[in-house]
Amino acid sequence: MESGLKRRRRRENLFKLAGMLATAVGIAFLGVFFANLVANGASAFEQTFIQLNVDFTEDVISPGGELDLVYADFDGLVRDSLRAEFPHVSSRSERRELNKLVSIGAGYQMRDMIEANPDLLGSAQLLWVPASATVDMFIKGNIDATLDASLRPLSDAQISWIQALQDSGRLETRLNMALFTNGDSREPELAGIRGALMGSFYMLIVTIVLAFPIGVAAAIYLEEFAPRSRWSDLIEVNINNLAAVPSIVFGLLGLAVFINWMGIPRSAPLVGGLVLSLLTLPVIIIASRAAIKAVPPSIREAALGLGASKMQVVFHHVMPLALPGMLTGAIIGMSRALGESAPLLMIGMVAFIVDVPAGLSDPATALPVQIYLWADSPERAFAERTSAAIIVLLGFLLVMNLSAVVIRKRMERKW
Amino acid sequence: MALMTEIESSDIQPPSTNGAQPSAVLEQVVNLGATIGDVRCEDPYVVTESVDVYYGDNHAIKDVTLEISKKEVIALIGPSGCGKSTFLRCLNRMNDTIETARVTGKITLGGQDIYGKELDPVALRARVGMVFQKPNPFPKSIYDNVAYGPRIHGLAADRAELDDIVHTSLERAGLLKEVIDRLDEPGTGLSGGQQQRLCIARTIAVNPEVILMDEPCSALDPIATAKIEDLMDELSHDYAIVIVTHSMQQAARVSRRVAYFHLGLLVEVDETDKIFTNPQHKLTEDYITGRIG
């Protein structure tokens, strides 16, 4: 008896140790992953800005007294202010190098300012404009100044100008708002995830509006009303299978049915939402069925005994008790849908879209797809932005899953 | 005259049957023929004629004929697995919820066939209420628990009438004084005995004609049990009560007639005094004296 006890205790301790080890390994992997992510992406939340003294000359912006926002040479104004800053820069090649310090977005920024406030015309303003991506990378320490001049994207002259601007306090890093306010762009310093965020948002709206009611209704029917037969078993097996089908297959289905046959515009969040709702539907059905099954039969019997009809039992008693489980399943399904990219590639949401979509039928992209596109780009500045976008995506997923847990905790009722 | 009824699905399991009884005893019962005692009564309201109940292949209730009158308390007693709960559940068609259950024979309520087309099970269950073994109040407030039945059957024209019904039911269940100032609190927060009285209040709120009670006190302590037995006594003035009980003392205390079941057969029915002092059948005597069951 004694040796048996000892053996059992040792085995239990070994098992506990194995469990702790497995958990530690899992956490270690997660830790390495997050550390790597943050190390790469944290710098993307900052952007280098250069302060320029810009003269909103009337002759350039409104020649002949009329405000010309389309053809006015705002870039010229930027160049003028740079030249005023460094008057000794004379040769054409040097001037080109100087102009390359500032992002081409500076001109657009000025145009937007004039458009919003035409009173600025004729005044001189001190503006902070984004520096080009190369300057940004240099400031963040990603460009090695000790390398031979032909091996780096910044020349010695450019580096000296950057130093000069920094010393005079006209170059600093600030919060990179463009990441959240702009759509995608060829220029990394102007690229943002807003287009992708809006695209994902519209798609999730379509997904939840379609998948939740249909999924819940299907689950209620299958659990409460459908007679147990070969058919219902077949349906159950099929639904479980659908939940495990690779998501790219849904993309192919969307391409064939929604785009080719039904003619819905390609790249629209509507198609994306339809495809994602097909993906989410089995997950919601399975979770809802489990939630309905968990409602104790005593409650149903009590309601039936009082003379409630089947429908009344389901809607007055079963649904309220199963709702936390259904919502949790829906949120988990949605967070899976948020992170899908393969089916969206199939339906054309992989295009380079710069405009932020305003509705369900505007061409759009989704956050995971945006990450994929940026990851493909060789520019160093996009590498850090990819990691930043991943951090944002993970942040959303974390919020969604946390809210699933919170909802479950708060709505749990005792019976 | 057999009336076959196929039942829909649910995940409620049928009551489990006991192990096999000695075959000699079984033969004795099979040779019995008819039920001893008087299955008929004056002024019958619930009548079962040759009712058989099958759970799949298991023959749970065998050819039971019994009449129950309008304002009496009748106790169904018998060893575990003899079919008393099954029989009880036939009377309000709760066996419909069990997929494998099949009921044949005729059951009438006030002359109407309860398995007939004219009587909707929903309407039937408003006339034949049921109180279960384990108290099962809804996870709602005490008020909503009692008000649920009247609400779905449209028994109250406005809030004032509903209040009236709720208060009256709680009072008749002997619960009103204890909960009058906390009607909005959840019903599940009450003690076991209070919960069972809440379930009784809920059942009488729809003003049924018959109340079925499936071992209502088996999960309660003696004091709560005594309270509910007093309640049954009062309710018997207005409703027919059919109570399944394991306790013979309880049967002796509350009922006017007793029906003894054994392995799905109705062995003996008689007035309470007679059956406990002078049982006619050997099986009844064995059960009452504690030799079986």
Q: Mean pLDDT score of chain B, rounded to an integer?
A: 85
Contacts 24+ apart (CB under 8 A), B15-22: B15/B81, B15/B85, B15/B86, B16/B81, B17/B58, B17/B60, B17/B81, B18/B79, B18/B80, B18/B81, B18/B82, B21/B263
Query: Can you spell out the DSSP letters for B113-166?
Result: ETTSSSS-HHHHHHHEEEE-SS----SSBHHHHHHHHHHHHT--SSHHHHHHHH
- B36 forms bridges with which residues in the sheet? B268
Residue A352, pLDDT score: 83
Poorest-pLDDT segment among A63-77, A88-102, B47-61: A63-77
Distance from CA of A209 to the nearest CA of B (A): 29
Domain with residue B233: its CATH number is 3.40.50.300
Sign of the C-alpha dihedral computed for residues B72, B73, B75 and B76 taken in this order? positive
Do A153 and A71 contact (CB within 8 A), yes or no?
no
Provide the 3-class DSSP secondary structure of residue A144: coil
CA nearest neighbour of B12 among B132, B168, B185, B107: B132
Residue B70 lies in a domain: yes
Poorest-pLDDT segment among A57-66, A201-210, A244-253: A57-66
Residue B159, pLDDT score: 93
Q: How many domains does chain B have?
A: 1
Percent of chain A whose pLDDT exceeds 70? 99
Do A384 and A188 contact (CB within 8 A), yes or no?
no
Residue B195, pLDDT score: 93
The tens digit of pLDDT for each residue in B221-275 reads 888 888 889 888 888 888 899 999 988 889 999 999 999 998 889 999 999 999 8
Q: Which residues of A touch B148 (CB under 8 A)?
A: 303, 306, 308, 316
User: Is B240 touching A (CB cutoff 8 A)?
Assistant: no
The tens digit of pLDDT for each residue in B119-147 reads 889 999 999 999 999 999 999 999 999 99
Residue B230 lies in a domain: yes
Question: Confidence class of residue B41 from pLDDT cuts 50, 70 and 90?
Answer: confident
CA nearest neighbour of A272 among A342, A215, A376, A180: A342
Tokens 């003035």: give the residue.
B237
Tokens of A261: 């046959």
**Is 70 exceeded by the pLDDT of residue B22?**
no
Residue B282, pLDDT score: 86
User: Is A305 touching B (CB cutoff 8 A)?
Assistant: yes
Average pLDDT over residues A155-167: 89
Question: Confidence class of residue B6 from pLDDT cuts 50, 70 and 90?
Answer: very low
- Determine which of B6, B7, B8, B95 to mutate to test the interface with A (most A C-beta atoms within 10 Å): B8
Average pLDDT over residues A48-63: 84
- The residue ranges of every structural domain in chain A are 48-169, 194-411
**Is 50 exceeded by the pLDDT of residue A155?**
yes
- B141 forms bridges with which residues in the sheet? B186
Residue A264, pLDDT score: 85
- Contact at CB, A227 and B206, closer than 8 angstroms: no
Phi-psi domain of B146 (left: phi exceeds 0; alpha: psi -120 through 50; beta: other): alpha
Residue A353, pLDDT score: 82
Residue B239 lies in a domain: yes
Q: How many CB atoms lie within 10 A of CB A158?
A: 20
Residue B28, pLDDT score: 53
Residue B17 lies in a domain: no
Do B172 and B234 contact (CB within 8 A), yes or no?
yes
CA geometry: angle A287, A219, A307, nearest 5 deg: 120
Residue B69 lies in a domain: yes
- Contact at CB, A298 and B136, closer than 8 angstroms: yes
Residue B18, pLDDT score: 45
Residue B9, pLDDT score: 37
Residue B227 lies in a domain: yes
Tokens 């800053």: give the residue.
A85
The tens digit of pLDDT for each residue in A357-398 reads 888 888 888 999 999 999 998 888 899 999 999 999 999 899
Which fold does the domain A194-411 belong to in CATH?
MetI-like fold (1.10.3720)
Question: Confidence class of residue A64 from pLDDT cuts 50, 70 and 90?
Answer: confident
Tokens of B162: 């509903």
Instruction: State which residues form the domain around B137.
Output: 23-289
* Interface confidence (ipTM) of the complex: 0.84
